[in-house]
Amino acid sequence: MSSQEREGADSAKRPNGPRSLPLRLLLGIVHAGSWMTGLPLPRMRPGMKLFMKGLDAAAALRVEGKAVWKDIAVTADDGRIIPVRLYRPESAGESDKLPIVLYFHGGGFALGDHTARHRYNRAWCVLSGCMLLSVGYRLAPEHPYPAGVEDAYDVLKWASLHASRLGGDGSRIAVAGESAGGNIAAVTALLAKERGGPDIACQALLYPAVDLTGGARSSAQPSLRENGRQYMLTLRLLQQFASGYAPKEHRSRPAVSPLLADTLEGLPPALVVTAELDPLRDQGHQYAERLRRDGVAVEYRCYAGMIHDFTAMMPGWIPAAGHSLRLAATFVRRELAAAGGRMPFDEDPECSPGEEERTALMDYILRERSPELMVQEEG
């Protein structure tokens, strides 16, 4: 069989490609810059940061409300300095002690930083009504596992003890993140459980990378094969990220691949969002199912026709992306409100596209039965 015939046979087995014109244009831009993926990870950073900042400026969700922000430095117990960007809703009073979201950016544990998606972070802050701390954890390969997750856990400890000085409520903390940041959020929740705190009220995991063993589980995760060649996040990139982050013998550890933990019992309520055309789709779905099976309250949503990182890349252009961001922020807002205290405003803030969203709301809360793979259609 020729290479063209093989490609045609593979395409016949794949899900339908993205229908959204902005998404298809984005994939064209990504394809034009695909030469960068042959570079060592540190040399990819300048181009990737420019790409992320450009998308953030052009495609961030427009919200009714503003956030004020400042850069702070968190000092870990060993004296290590962790950079953090703090966001606070402008609508909050000076005396309000706001619940806290620790947010971890994506980038394969090696790319991006805590400032690259500034407008996206501001939207998260406004929509959730929380103080948002965007964490500048150390990056691989210069700082492999466990450097990044220890930075995350140290910021969690700091926030629980000291955030009140900045207007935060250290007794109400959520963790959230996308892709590799979703991994770090999930692992931070695991570490907090294993180490006896600090308490985490909930976790919002956007297309998380929760299994770094890759090919060892590919038969159980068809999305790796279906979506691992043409939708930006390729199998080659996944392997490059995993190799830079942790040696092969460490990748089955729960603190690297939380999907492989013996038990997830006792973890905080979770929202897991996946995308139909993402190679990480199946592992995210399996993590939601594992959480449910181990008695954790879970909400799961898979968005049809979407690719990896859709929420953060184009929330202002694609209705499904804007909806997924609003979904995650609302989930965190609701869970933190249930944990006690008050929010700075009573009503959910409006956001564009708001009422014009053409997506059908298909909430799927995992309760007493095994979930099917539910998708949200984009109109």
Question: How do residues 26-41 score in pLDDT, each as one tens digit?
Answer: 777 666 666 677 789 9
More confident residue, 202 or 219: 202
**What token pair was written down for 340?**
């006690």
Assess whether pLDDT exceeds 60 at residue 183: yes
Give the pLDDT band (50/70/90) at residue 175: very high
User: Of 134, 179, 223, 257, which is the active-site residue?
Assistant: 179
pLDDT at 2: 42
Residues facing residue 271 across a β-bridge: 204, 299
Assess whether pLDDT exceeds 60 at residue 353: no
More confident residue, 94 or 3: 94
DSSP conformational letter for 198:
-
Give the pLDDT band (50/70/90) at residue 323: very high
pLDDT at 229: 87
Rounded to whole angstroms, the Cα distance separating 190 from 281 reads 21
DSSP 28-74: HHHHHTGGGGGS-HHHHHHHHHHHHHHHHHHHPPPBSS-EEEEEEEE
Rounded to whole angstroms, the Cα distance separating 101 from 126 reads 12
Backbone angles phi, psi at 100, to 5 degrees: -120, 135
Contacts of 147 (CB under 8 A, 6+ apart): 137, 138, 140
Assess whether pLDDT exceeds 70 at residue 165: yes
In percent, the amount of the chain with pLDDT more than 70 equals 81
- Mean pLDDT value of segment 312-328: 92
Assess whether pLDDT exceeds 70 at residue 43: yes
pLDDT at 28: 74
Over residues 271-308, the pLDDT tens digits come to 999 999 999 999 999 999 999 999 999 999 999 999 99
Rounded to whole angstroms, the Cα distance separating 93 from 96 reads 5
Assess whether pLDDT exceeds 70 at residue 239: yes
Going by C-alpha positions, the residue among 329, 305, 303 that lies closest to residue 26 is 305
Catalytic status, residue 179: yes
What average pLDDT is seen over the chain? Answer: 85
Assess whether pLDDT exceeds 50 at residue 236: yes
Assess whether pLDDT exceeds 60 at residue 347: no
Full-model pTM: 0.85
Assess whether pLDDT exceeds 70 at residue 266: yes
* Domain ranges within the chain, ordered by starting residue: 26-376
CATH architecture under which domain 26-376 falls = 3-Layer(aba) Sandwich (3.40)
* SS3 state of residue 134: strand
Catalytic status, residue 308: yes
Catalytic status, residue 262: no
**What token pair was written down for 34?**
């695909």
User: Of 151, 154, 211, 278, which is the active-site residue?
Assistant: 278
Rounded to whole angstroms, the Cα distance separating 104 from 137 reads 8
Rounded to whole angstroms, the Cα distance separating 98 from 166 reads 9
pLDDT at 344: 52
Give the pLDDT band (50/70/90) at residue 215: low
pLDDT at 63: 86
User: Of 118, 285, 308, 323, which is the active-site residue?
Assistant: 308
User: Do the Cβ atoms of 72 and 84 come closer than 8 Å?
Assistant: yes
User: Do the Cβ atoms of 122 and 101 come closer than 8 Å?
Assistant: no
Give the pLDDT band (50/70/90) at residue 218: low
Rounded to whole angstroms, the Cα distance separating 170 from 131 reads 11
DSSP conformational letter for 351:
B
DSSP conformational letter for 310:
H
Over residues 47-88, the pLDDT tens digits come to 888 888 888 887 767 788 999 999 999 999 999 999 999 999
- Mean pLDDT value of segment 235-246: 95
Q: Which of 107-116, 145-154, 165-174, 219-228 has the lowest mean pLDDT?
A: 219-228
Rounded to whole angstroms, the Cα distance separating 286 from 4 reads 33
pLDDT at 232: 84
**What token pair was written down for 304?**
């049809």
- Mean pLDDT value of segment 136-154: 99
More confident residue, 212 or 96: 212
